[in-house]
Amino acid sequence: MLAVHNLSVDYGPARALHGVTIAVPRGGRVALIGANGAGKSTLVNAICGIVPIAEGTVEFDGQAIAGRAPERIVRLGIAQVAEGRQLFPGLSVAENLAMGAYTVGKAQDVKRSLAEVYAMFPVLGERRHAPAQLLSGGEQQMLAIGRALMSRPKMMVFDEPSLGLAPLYVERIFSVLDDLNRQGIPILLIEQNVRLSLTVTDYAYVLERGRIVLEGTSNNLLSNPHVEASYLGI
């Protein structure tokens, strides 16, 4: 579904990513792990058209998308749930969700998506008129996911979905990720909890200093000596 080949990104004179190659298969669940500053968010932002690409190619669902505007990439079917949620704090829950549907042309599709989001997260329906800034952290993460789903994506990118959440909300959010994947939506996951990310995915890449240094099945990486020492505290 997604194929990134030899991708490099520059921030001014500094190279942030060096020839990164990753793939997300149809229906797959792929983790991208690494320390803070390794380039994980830069990579997903490059995929989504938010930061420019210096070198390399990105293909999604058979189409070359490198260099396309972010809104065009959303229309093609990639939805990103950004780190920190990036909601519109003064807008209501319903208004935030509506912002996620701006690329959807048919009113009946928007209505159907809204009903599906409220069924998935009933608390959002209950608080649809409340400003996003008054929601709890877990509810805000639900809203961020719901907003991404409003675009009716073919693939979803999650950047640190458990950040700052209580354990109960983390369990709920990852249950939703599993449900979405079971519905056929491929998942690319960045997650600070490395053990959790390797438990809920099938394949993983380790990014260090802008380079992929390891890749393999998530189960194998769980027992990899480098991953154990660097990320699992073993």
The answer to whether residue 15 is domain-embedded is yes
Tokens linked to 102: 């701006």
Concatenating the DSSP letter of every residue in 8-24 gives EEEETTEEEEEEEEEEE
pLDDT computed for residue 70 by the predictor: 92
Neighbours of 87 (CB within 10 A): 20
Q: Which amino acid is at 29?
A: R
What is the per-residue pLDDT across 90-130, written as a single tens digit (0 to 9) for each?
999 999 999 888 777 677 778 888 999 999 999 999 999 99
Q: Where are the beta strands (DSSP E) in the chain?
A: 2-11, 14-24, 29-33, 55-60, 63-64, 78-81, 155-159, 187-190, 203-208, 211-217
Give the DSSP letter of residue 134. G
Asked whether residue 17 is assigned to any structural domain, the reply reads: yes
Residue appearing with tokens 């400003």: 131
Contact 1, 46 (CB under 8 A): no
The pLDDT, as a whole number, for residue 105 is 66
Q: State the average pLDDT for the chain.
A: 92
Residue 77 in any domain: the answer is no
The CATH number that applies at residue 55 is 3.40.50.300
Pairing of strands 155-159, 203-208: unpaired
Q: Of 68, 67, 45, nearest to 56 (Cα)?
A: 67
Q: Is residue 111 part of a domain?
A: no
Can you read off the two tokens belonging to residue 117? 């989001």
Share of the chain above pLDDT 70, in %: 99
How far apart (Å, rounded) are the C-alpha atoms in residues 16 and 207? 11
| Rg of the chain in Å (alpha carbons) | 17
Query: 133 in a domain, yes or no?
Result: no
- What total number of domains does the chain contain? 1
Q: pLDDT per residue over 1-18, tens digit each?
A: 999 999 999 999 999 999
Measured CA to CA, the distance from residue 143 to residue 139 in angstroms comes to 6
Residue 8 pLDDT: 97
Range of the domain at 230: 1-69+183-234
Residue 234 has pLDDT above 80, yes or no: no
pLDDT in tens, 155-200: 999 999 988 888 888 998 999 999 999 999 999 999 888 999 999 9
Q: Is residue 91 part of a domain?
A: no
Domain membership flag for residue 200? yes
CA torsion through residues 168, 173, 176, 181, sign: negative
Two tokens at 104? Answer: 């959807």
This prediction has a pTM of 0.91
The rounded percent of the chain whose pLDDT value lies above 90 is: 78
Asked whether 136 and 110 are in contact (CB, 8 A), the reply is: no
